Amino acid sequence: MKIERPRPTRADAALLRNTVLKLTVATRVVTVAVVLLCALIWWFLLHRLLAFGKGLDYTGLEALGPQVMSFVKQYNPFFWWAIVALCTLIIAYFLYGFVETMNRRVRARRVSADTIALLASRLSASALQVLHWCWQNRREPITVGVLQHTLRELSNGRAARIELAERHAALLDTAAATRAGDDSPAL
């Protein structure tokens, strides 16, 4: 006897996506605002740094000779662009760390019971089964990270794999029970 379960629908994915978006929108707005603000400030400082490099007077180096003076003037822009590139990498590193910290914080945020009740009432049975599969630590409440993981797994076909695993388990259990019955002594 084959039990057919309804497959997760696009409405399941849309509901999860909208729920995750509602739960993460404030953090995403703050993160984007901080990144944009840092980028604008760095853009302003970058131009100031390059203008400072162009405006430097190297007349004090004439005592070292004309070759040194021409060398300094020739490679001066490259030096300042190298400083800009190095500072950009450092700023990008810190911004990446900030974004990762914000993402980690939002993934750890607990989901309210009302939100879970809404999801439980609207998700299909197979989507709920994927949510159960993603929620591995039952001693902790469901977090935004669990919902994000559920959405990814729904998109990757986890519901079909769970159903196939259950069918495999049922087949192996049936075969084991049959073999155990065959091996019993006849009366």
In total, how many domains does the chain have?
A: 1
Domain for residue 5, yes or no?
A: no
* Coil, helix or strand at residue 143: strand
pLDDT at 184 over 70: no
Strand partners, 143: 110
Q: Are 23 and 142 in contact (CB under 8 A)?
A: no
Q: State phi, psi for 110 to the nearest 5 degrees.
A: -75, 145
Residue ranges making up the domain that contains 129: 10-177
Alpha helices in the chain (DSSP H): 10-55, 66-107, 113-122, 125-134, 144-155, 158-182
Domain for residue 111, yes or no?
A: yes
Domain for residue 1, yes or no?
A: no
The two structure tokens encoding residue 94: 């810190």
pLDDT at 15 over 60: yes
Domain for residue 185, yes or no?
A: no
Contacts (Cβ under 8 Å, ≥6 apart) of 91: 38, 42
Domain for residue 186, yes or no?
A: no
Give residue 10's pLDDT: 87
Give residue 29's pLDDT: 97
Domain for residue 51, yes or no?
A: yes
The whole-angstrom separation of Cα 111 and Cα 124 is 19
Domain for residue 183, yes or no?
A: no
Domain for residue 187, yes or no?
A: no
pLDDT at 4 over 60: no
Only one residue has tokens 């914000």, namely: 102
The whole-angstrom separation of Cα 182 and Cα 171 is 16
Tens digit of each residue's pLDDT (9 = 90 or more) over 117-138: 999 999 999 999 999 999 999 9
Tens digit of each residue's pLDDT (9 = 90 or more) over 67-114: 877 887 788 888 889 999 999 999 999 999 999 999 999 999 999 999
pLDDT at 18 over 70: yes
pLDDT at 2 over 70: no
Only one residue has tokens 């490679």, namely: 75
Give residue 6's pLDDT: 62
